Amino acid sequence: MWTDELKARSAGKCELTGQEGELTVYEVLPDTYGDPAIAVSKSLIAQIEGTEPLDPNAWRFLPEAMWSEIPAVQVLSWRMLNRLKGESWAAEALDILYLDESTLEWAKALGEPEELSEQPVHKDAHGNILQDGDSVVLTRTLDVKGSTMSAKLGTVVRNIRLVEDNPEQIEGKVNGQQIVILTKYLRKQH
């Protein structure tokens, strides 16, 4: 809930990114440790809550945000950096981040659900995040194993399906045949 204190503190800017834009109040739970409310850009909420895959490039501001004087911002920064610790810049930021004892206890209080921290992210050859139903373009001609068919460079594959346990593979139909394609050989069609 927007309080006068939160409106004044945020000055109409996201307390993570420092950018103006459409904001919402996000409560960093549990709220037994301090004031949980912070102003956050609406565009980040789905990734924070895990309803959208994490886009590491959208979080490059965290090494700066983690030094905020607001404990709830520090806690959320720590949690997001932990979810992104596979990225070298996030791991480096975590190495130098210092949280006092009670703030660190707050950050660890919920624990991160396993599916959020270990959810595989499928990316194309250019680092764009792929989702079920996307269309992609092959960036090279590929021989299809177990077949005499070749999938030609520039072929558009529509309505792809992500291979659940392997972020390096997608499934799609080429010339009417369902095949598995390595993500490093395709780019997302926009």
- Give the model's confidence band at 165: pLDDT under 50 very low, under 70 low, under 90 confident, else very high: confident
Beta strands, E only, 46-141? 136-138
**What is the pLDDT, as a whole number, of residue 116?**
46
* The Cα angle at residue 48 between residues 63 and 85, in degrees rounded to 5: 45
> Domains, the chain, ranges and CATH?
4-117 (no CATH), 136-188 (2.30.30.40)
How far CA 76 is from CA of 130, 137, 147, 169, 190, in Å, comes to 25, 37, 50, 31, 31
pTM > 0.95: no
**What is the pLDDT, as a whole number, of residue 42?**
95
Q: What's the rounded mean pLDDT across residues 53-61?
A: 93
**What is the pLDDT, as a whole number, of residue 112?**
55
**What is the pLDDT, as a whole number, of residue 111?**
64
Residue 167 and residue 121: Cα distance in Å, rounded?
A: 6
How far CA 58 is from CA of 44, 62, 109, in Å, comes to 8, 9, 25
**What is the pLDDT, as a whole number, of residue 115?**
43
Chain mean pLDDT for the chain: 90
Is residue 83 over pLDDT 50? yes
Residue of 128 and 92 predicted with greater confidence = 92
Is residue 114 over pLDDT 50? no
Q: Residue 140, CB half-sphere, CA atoms under 13 Å: how many?
A: 10
Residue whose entry in the numeric block shows the structure tokens 């996201």 = 14
